[in-house]
Structure 1
Amino acid sequence: MTDTTTEQPGISAAIIVEGDRVLMVRRRVKEGKLSWQFPAGAIEAGETAEQAAVRETAEEAGLTVEAIKLLGERVHPNTGRLMSYTACSVLEGEAHVADDEELAEVAWVAHGEIAEYVPYGLFGPVQEYLDEALHRKD
Protein backbone atom coordinates (compact mmCIF):
# COMPACT_ATOMS: atom_id res chain seq x y z
CA MET A 1 0.00 0.00 0.00
CA THR A 2 1.32 3.42 -0.90
CA ASP A 3 1.22 6.22 1.63
CA THR A 4 -0.05 9.46 0.05
CA THR A 5 2.08 11.57 2.38
CA THR A 6 5.29 10.28 0.76
CA GLU A 7 4.08 10.72 -2.83
CA GLN A 8 3.86 14.50 -2.57
CA PRO A 9 6.20 17.05 -1.00
CA GLY A 10 5.35 18.25 2.48
CA ILE A 11 3.52 21.53 2.96
CA SER A 12 4.91 24.28 5.15
CA ALA A 13 2.59 26.86 6.74
CA ALA A 14 3.62 30.20 8.23
CA ILE A 15 1.92 31.30 11.45
CA ILE A 16 2.44 35.07 11.38
CA VAL A 17 1.36 37.16 14.34
CA GLU A 18 1.49 40.93 14.27
CA GLY A 19 0.05 42.82 17.21
CA ASP A 20 -3.12 41.04 18.26
CA ARG A 21 -3.86 39.32 14.94
CA VAL A 22 -2.73 36.36 12.84
CA LEU A 23 -2.45 36.41 9.05
CA MET A 24 -4.79 34.12 7.13
CA VAL A 25 -5.27 33.72 3.39
CA ARG A 26 -8.23 32.52 1.34
CA ARG A 27 -7.35 30.27 -1.59
CA ARG A 28 -9.05 30.71 -4.95
CA VAL A 29 -9.59 26.94 -5.10
CA LYS A 30 -10.60 25.10 -1.94
CA GLU A 31 -8.51 22.13 -0.88
CA GLY A 32 -11.09 19.78 0.59
CA LYS A 33 -12.87 21.70 3.37
CA LEU A 34 -10.10 24.28 3.49
CA SER A 35 -10.90 27.78 2.37
CA TRP A 36 -9.13 30.07 4.83
CA GLN A 37 -5.71 28.95 6.01
CA PHE A 38 -2.24 30.20 6.80
CA PRO A 39 0.18 31.14 4.00
CA ALA A 40 1.55 27.78 2.90
CA GLY A 41 3.01 25.77 0.09
CA ALA A 42 5.13 22.81 -0.91
CA ILE A 43 8.59 22.41 0.56
CA GLU A 44 11.04 22.45 -2.34
CA ALA A 45 14.09 20.20 -2.70
CA GLY A 46 16.89 21.32 -0.39
CA GLU A 47 14.60 23.56 1.66
CA THR A 48 13.74 23.27 5.34
CA ALA A 49 10.15 23.70 6.50
CA GLU A 50 11.13 27.05 8.01
CA GLN A 51 12.69 28.28 4.74
CA ALA A 52 9.59 27.20 2.81
CA ALA A 53 7.30 29.10 5.21
CA VAL A 54 9.35 32.28 4.71
CA ARG A 55 9.41 31.88 0.90
CA GLU A 56 5.71 31.05 0.59
CA THR A 57 4.75 34.09 2.70
CA ALA A 58 6.72 36.38 0.36
CA GLU A 59 5.28 34.74 -2.76
CA GLU A 60 1.66 34.65 -1.60
CA ALA A 61 1.23 37.65 0.70
CA GLY A 62 4.13 39.95 -0.19
CA LEU A 63 5.52 39.97 3.35
CA THR A 64 9.14 39.53 4.35
CA VAL A 65 9.16 37.39 7.49
CA GLU A 66 11.67 35.47 9.54
CA ALA A 67 11.12 32.04 11.02
CA ILE A 68 11.02 31.99 14.81
CA LYS A 69 10.46 28.30 15.50
CA LEU A 70 8.91 25.15 14.12
CA LEU A 71 5.69 24.59 16.07
CA GLY A 72 5.05 21.03 14.92
CA GLU A 73 4.19 18.63 12.13
CA ARG A 74 1.27 16.34 11.32
CA VAL A 75 -0.58 14.63 8.52
CA HIS A 76 -3.45 17.04 7.85
CA PRO A 77 -6.79 15.32 8.56
CA ASN A 78 -8.57 17.03 5.64
CA THR A 79 -5.91 16.71 2.94
CA GLY A 80 -3.71 13.76 3.93
CA ARG A 81 -0.61 15.91 3.30
CA LEU A 82 2.34 16.15 5.67
CA MET A 83 2.14 19.64 7.20
CA SER A 84 4.78 21.68 9.04
CA TYR A 85 3.83 24.81 10.98
CA THR A 86 6.39 27.57 11.57
CA ALA A 87 5.91 30.63 13.76
CA CYS A 88 7.17 33.72 11.90
CA SER A 89 7.52 37.43 12.61
CA VAL A 90 7.13 40.27 10.11
CA LEU A 91 10.31 42.06 9.06
CA GLU A 92 8.79 44.34 6.42
CA GLY A 93 5.95 44.84 3.99
CA GLU A 94 2.17 45.01 4.05
CA ALA A 95 0.15 41.82 3.59
CA HIS A 96 -1.70 41.73 0.28
CA VAL A 97 -2.63 39.21 -2.40
CA ALA A 98 0.74 38.89 -4.13
CA ASP A 99 -0.18 35.71 -6.03
CA ASP A 100 -3.65 36.34 -7.47
CA GLU A 101 -3.67 32.95 -9.22
CA GLU A 102 -3.55 31.18 -5.85
CA LEU A 103 -5.13 33.65 -3.43
CA ALA A 104 -8.40 35.53 -3.40
CA GLU A 105 -7.99 37.44 -0.15
CA VAL A 106 -5.81 38.04 2.93
CA ALA A 107 -7.02 38.95 6.42
CA TRP A 108 -5.53 39.75 9.79
CA VAL A 109 -7.69 37.74 12.17
CA ALA A 110 -8.22 38.38 15.90
CA HIS A 111 -8.08 35.47 18.34
CA GLY A 112 -11.84 35.43 18.86
CA GLU A 113 -12.47 35.32 15.10
CA ILE A 114 -10.28 32.30 14.26
CA ALA A 115 -13.16 29.81 14.66
CA GLU A 116 -15.19 31.76 12.06
CA TYR A 117 -12.37 31.30 9.54
CA VAL A 118 -11.37 27.76 10.56
CA PRO A 119 -14.52 26.11 11.98
CA TYR A 120 -12.94 22.64 12.21
CA GLY A 121 -10.27 23.84 14.68
CA LEU A 122 -6.52 24.29 14.51
CA PHE A 123 -3.67 21.85 15.08
CA GLY A 124 -3.05 21.75 18.85
CA PRO A 125 0.47 23.27 18.91
CA VAL A 126 -0.67 26.07 16.57
CA GLN A 127 -3.71 26.82 18.76
CA GLU A 128 -1.52 26.87 21.88
CA TYR A 129 0.96 29.23 20.23
CA LEU A 130 -1.82 31.58 19.11
CA ASP A 131 -3.52 31.46 22.52
CA GLU A 132 -0.27 32.71 24.03
CA ALA A 133 0.88 35.04 21.23
CA LEU A 134 -2.48 36.77 20.85
CA HIS A 135 -3.02 36.94 24.63
CA ARG A 136 -6.72 36.34 24.05
CA LYS A 137 -7.15 40.00 23.03
CA ASP A 138 -10.67 39.44 21.74
Structure 2
Amino acid sequence: MSEPTPASERPPIAAAVIVHDGKVLLVKRRVKEGSLSWQFPAGEVEIKQAESASAAAVREAHEETGLTVSASKVIGERVHPNTGRTMIYVACNVVEGNASVVDDEELIEFAWATRAQLAEYVPYGFFDTVQQYLKSNLK
Protein backbone atom coordinates (compact mmCIF):
# COMPACT_ATOMS: atom_id res chain seq x y z
CA MET A 1 0.00 0.00 0.00
CA SER A 2 1.43 3.39 -0.92
CA GLU A 3 1.53 6.40 1.33
CA PRO A 4 -0.42 9.51 0.27
CA THR A 5 1.72 12.18 -1.35
CA PRO A 6 2.19 15.17 0.99
CA ALA A 7 0.47 18.36 -0.24
CA SER A 8 3.87 20.07 -0.53
CA GLU A 9 5.02 17.47 -3.10
CA ARG A 10 1.87 17.52 -5.23
CA PRO A 11 1.63 19.71 -8.35
CA PRO A 12 0.48 23.28 -7.77
CA ILE A 13 -3.12 24.32 -8.31
CA ALA A 14 -3.74 27.00 -10.95
CA ALA A 15 -6.80 29.17 -10.33
CA ALA A 16 -8.43 31.18 -13.13
CA VAL A 17 -9.49 34.60 -11.84
CA ILE A 18 -11.92 35.54 -14.60
CA VAL A 19 -13.27 39.09 -14.53
CA HIS A 20 -15.85 40.00 -17.18
CA ASP A 21 -18.17 43.02 -17.29
CA GLY A 22 -17.08 44.05 -13.80
CA LYS A 23 -17.89 40.67 -12.21
CA VAL A 24 -15.75 37.67 -11.23
CA LEU A 25 -16.63 34.06 -11.98
CA LEU A 26 -16.95 31.78 -8.96
CA VAL A 27 -17.78 28.08 -8.96
CA LYS A 28 -19.26 25.97 -6.19
CA ARG A 29 -17.67 22.55 -5.69
CA ARG A 30 -19.71 19.43 -4.92
CA VAL A 31 -17.17 18.50 -2.25
CA LYS A 32 -15.78 21.23 0.00
CA GLU A 33 -12.01 21.56 0.26
CA GLY A 34 -11.66 22.44 3.92
CA SER A 35 -13.95 25.44 4.42
CA LEU A 36 -13.89 26.22 0.71
CA SER A 37 -17.03 25.69 -1.33
CA TRP A 38 -17.14 28.76 -3.61
CA GLN A 39 -13.88 29.42 -5.38
CA PHE A 40 -12.30 30.16 -8.75
CA PRO A 41 -12.23 27.55 -11.51
CA ALA A 42 -9.02 25.67 -10.72
CA GLY A 43 -7.09 22.45 -10.94
CA GLU A 44 -3.67 20.82 -10.87
CA VAL A 45 -0.93 21.92 -13.21
CA GLU A 46 -0.02 18.94 -15.41
CA ILE A 47 3.69 18.79 -14.62
CA LYS A 48 4.32 15.69 -16.76
CA GLN A 49 3.13 17.63 -19.82
CA ALA A 50 5.31 20.62 -18.85
CA GLU A 51 2.13 22.71 -18.55
CA SER A 52 2.50 26.27 -17.24
CA ALA A 53 0.23 27.62 -14.53
CA SER A 54 -1.32 30.00 -17.06
CA ALA A 55 -2.08 27.15 -19.47
CA ALA A 56 -3.54 25.08 -16.61
CA ALA A 57 -5.82 27.95 -15.55
CA VAL A 58 -7.06 28.38 -19.13
CA ARG A 59 -7.62 24.60 -19.49
CA GLU A 60 -9.42 24.26 -16.15
CA ALA A 61 -11.69 27.23 -16.86
CA HIS A 62 -12.77 25.57 -20.11
CA GLU A 63 -13.13 22.08 -18.64
CA GLU A 64 -15.19 23.29 -15.68
CA THR A 65 -17.27 26.13 -17.17
CA GLY A 66 -17.05 25.89 -20.96
CA LEU A 67 -15.55 29.38 -21.25
CA THR A 68 -12.67 30.01 -23.59
CA VAL A 69 -10.34 32.39 -21.75
CA SER A 70 -6.86 33.79 -22.23
CA ALA A 71 -4.38 34.31 -19.42
CA SER A 72 -3.19 37.87 -18.97
CA LYS A 73 -0.88 37.63 -15.94
CA VAL A 74 -0.07 35.73 -12.78
CA ILE A 75 -1.57 37.68 -9.88
CA GLY A 76 0.18 35.82 -7.07
CA GLU A 77 1.26 32.55 -5.52
CA ARG A 78 1.01 31.08 -2.02
CA VAL A 79 0.62 27.89 -0.01
CA HIS A 80 -3.09 27.83 0.79
CA PRO A 81 -3.62 27.89 4.57
CA ASN A 82 -6.61 25.48 4.45
CA THR A 83 -5.39 22.91 1.94
CA GLY A 84 -1.59 23.16 2.19
CA ARG A 85 -1.41 23.20 -1.61
CA THR A 86 0.62 25.70 -3.62
CA MET A 87 -1.85 28.00 -5.38
CA ILE A 88 -1.06 30.11 -8.43
CA TYR A 89 -3.69 32.73 -9.24
CA VAL A 90 -3.92 33.69 -12.92
CA ALA A 91 -5.90 36.67 -14.24
CA CYS A 92 -7.90 35.58 -17.28
CA ASN A 93 -10.06 37.34 -19.87
CA VAL A 94 -13.11 35.85 -21.59
CA VAL A 95 -12.43 35.17 -25.26
CA GLU A 96 -15.76 33.50 -26.06
CA GLY A 97 -18.62 31.48 -24.66
CA ASN A 98 -21.05 31.63 -21.78
CA ALA A 99 -20.27 30.12 -18.40
CA SER A 100 -22.14 27.01 -17.36
CA VAL A 101 -21.53 23.96 -15.19
CA VAL A 102 -19.73 21.69 -17.66
CA ASP A 103 -17.97 19.45 -15.15
CA ASP A 104 -21.00 18.37 -13.15
CA GLU A 105 -18.99 15.73 -11.31
CA GLU A 106 -16.97 18.50 -9.62
CA LEU A 107 -19.30 21.52 -9.71
CA ILE A 108 -22.89 22.17 -8.75
CA GLU A 109 -23.21 25.88 -9.46
CA PHE A 110 -21.50 29.01 -10.77
CA ALA A 111 -22.02 32.73 -10.24
CA TRP A 112 -20.79 36.03 -11.59
CA ALA A 113 -20.22 38.15 -8.47
CA THR A 114 -19.81 41.89 -8.07
CA ARG A 115 -17.48 43.38 -5.48
CA ALA A 116 -20.45 43.94 -3.12
CA GLN A 117 -21.48 40.26 -3.42
CA LEU A 118 -18.06 38.68 -2.77
CA ALA A 119 -18.51 38.34 1.00
CA GLU A 120 -21.75 36.38 0.43
CA TYR A 121 -19.81 33.75 -1.51
CA VAL A 122 -16.42 33.91 0.22
CA PRO A 123 -16.92 35.37 3.73
CA TYR A 124 -13.27 34.80 4.79
CA GLY A 125 -11.90 36.94 1.93
CA PHE A 126 -9.23 36.19 -0.64
CA PHE A 127 -5.44 36.08 -0.73
CA ASP A 128 -4.23 39.71 -0.41
CA THR A 129 -2.89 40.12 -3.96
CA VAL A 130 -6.07 38.56 -5.39
CA GLN A 131 -8.21 40.80 -3.16
CA GLN A 132 -6.36 43.87 -4.48
CA TYR A 133 -6.77 42.70 -8.08
CA LEU A 134 -10.51 42.21 -7.57
CA LYS A 135 -10.87 45.56 -5.80
CA SER A 136 -9.33 47.26 -8.84
CA ASN A 137 -11.30 45.31 -11.46
CA LEU A 138 -14.81 44.70 -10.11
CA LYS A 139 -17.84 46.96 -10.09
Quote the offset at 1:115 in angstroms: 1.0
Quote the offset at 1:29 in angstroms: 0.5
- 1:54–1:66: 8 Å Cα contact kept in structure 2? yes
Q: Which residue of 1 aligns with 2:33?
A: 31
Q: Percent identity among equivalent residues?
A: 61
Q: Which residue of 2 aligns with 1:49?
A: 53
- 2:11–2:45: 8 Å Cα contact kept in structure 1? yes
1:76 paired to 2:80: yes
How many corresponding residue pairs? Answer: 133
Q: Which residue of 2 aligns with 1:89?
A: 93
Query: Residue 40 of structure 1 aligns to which amino acid in structure 2?
Result: A
TM-score by length of 1: 0.93
Aligned-partner Cα distance in 1 for 2:66–2:135 = 25
Quote the offset at 1:6 in angstroms: 2.9
- 1:4–1:81: 8 Å Cα contact kept in structure 2? no
- 1:5–1:75: 8 Å Cα contact kept in structure 2? no
Backbone CA RMSD of aligned residues: 1.1
- 1:59–1:99: 8 Å Cα contact kept in structure 2? yes
Quote the offset at 1:8 in angstroms: 1.2
* Structure 1: 4+ residue segments shifted above 2 A: 3-7
- Return 5+ residue gaps in structure 1 as ranges: none
TM-score by length of 2: 0.93
- 2:8–2:84: 8 Å Cα contact kept in structure 1? no
Summarize the alignment of residues 1-138 of structure 1 with structure 2, pairs less than 5 Å apart: 4-45=6-47, 46-134=50-138, 137=139
Query: Residue 98 of structure 1 aligns to which amino acid in structure 2?
Result: V
